[in-house]
Structure 1
Amino acid sequence: MQKISRKTLTDQIYEILREEIIQQNIVSGTRLQFKELQEKYSISSSPLREAMNRLYQDGLVTYFSNKGAQVVTFTEADVNEVYDLYCELDCIAIRYAFDSGKVEEMYVDLKNNLVETGKCLETGSFMEFNRLSDDFHNIIYSYANNGRLLKMANQLRGQFTILSNLYEEKMENRQAIYDNHSEILKRLIDDDIKGVVELVRNSFNSSKSFVLERMKAADS
Structure 2
Amino acid sequence: MSENVKTITEQIYLMIRNDILRQNRKMGERLTVKQLQDQLGVSSTPIREALTRLQQDGLIEYQPNVGMRVVTMTEKDLREIFQMMVEYDCIAMRFACESSEREELLRRLSHVQENAAQCLRLSDLEKWEELSDEFHLEFYHFCNNRRLRVAAEKNRLQFGIFSNAYQRLPANQRDIQCQHDEILRCLMAGDDDRAIQMLRKHTEASMEKALRCLRSVKADD
TM-score if structure 1 supplies the norm length? 0.91
Q: In the alignment, residue 48 of structure 1 is paired with which amino acid?
A: I
1:212 Cα deviation from its structure 2 partner:
2.1
Conserved? CA contact 2:96–2:144, under 8 Å: yes
Q: Secondary structure at the match of 2:99?
A: coil
- 1 CA distance for matches of 2:86 and 2:149? 13
Aligned residue pairs total 216
Alignment of structure 1 residues 64-213 onto 2, 5 Å: 68-213=67-212
Conserved? CA contact 1:34–1:67, under 8 Å: no
- 2 CA distance for matches of 1:218 and 1:25? 12
**Corresponding residue number in structure 1 for 2:24:** 25
TM-score if structure 2 supplies the norm length? 0.91
- 2 CA distance for matches of 1:66 and 1:44? 23
- 2 CA distance for matches of 1:208 and 1:19? 21
Provide structure 1 residue ranges, at least 5 long, that are not aligned to the other structure.
none
Q: Secondary structure at the match of 1:8?
A: helix
Conserved? CA contact 1:97–1:143, under 8 Å: yes
CA 1:66 to 1:142, structure 2 compared with 1: closer, same or farther past 3 Å?
farther
- 2 CA distance for matches of 1:194 and 1:118? 25
Structure 1 residues 131-140 or 161-170, which shifts more? Answer: 161-170
CA 1:209 to 1:47, structure 2 compared with 1: closer, same or farther past 3 Å?
same
- 2 CA distance for matches of 1:215 and 1:163? 8
Q: Secondary structure at the match of 2:16?
A: helix
Provide structure 2 residue ranges, at least 5 long, that are not aligned to the other structure.
none
Structure 1 residues 66-75 or 192-201, which shifts more? Answer: 66-75
Conserved? CA contact 2:162–2:213, under 8 Å: no
**Identity percentage over the alignment?**
37
Superposition CA RMSD, Å: 2.0
Conserved? CA contact 2:166–2:209, under 8 Å: yes
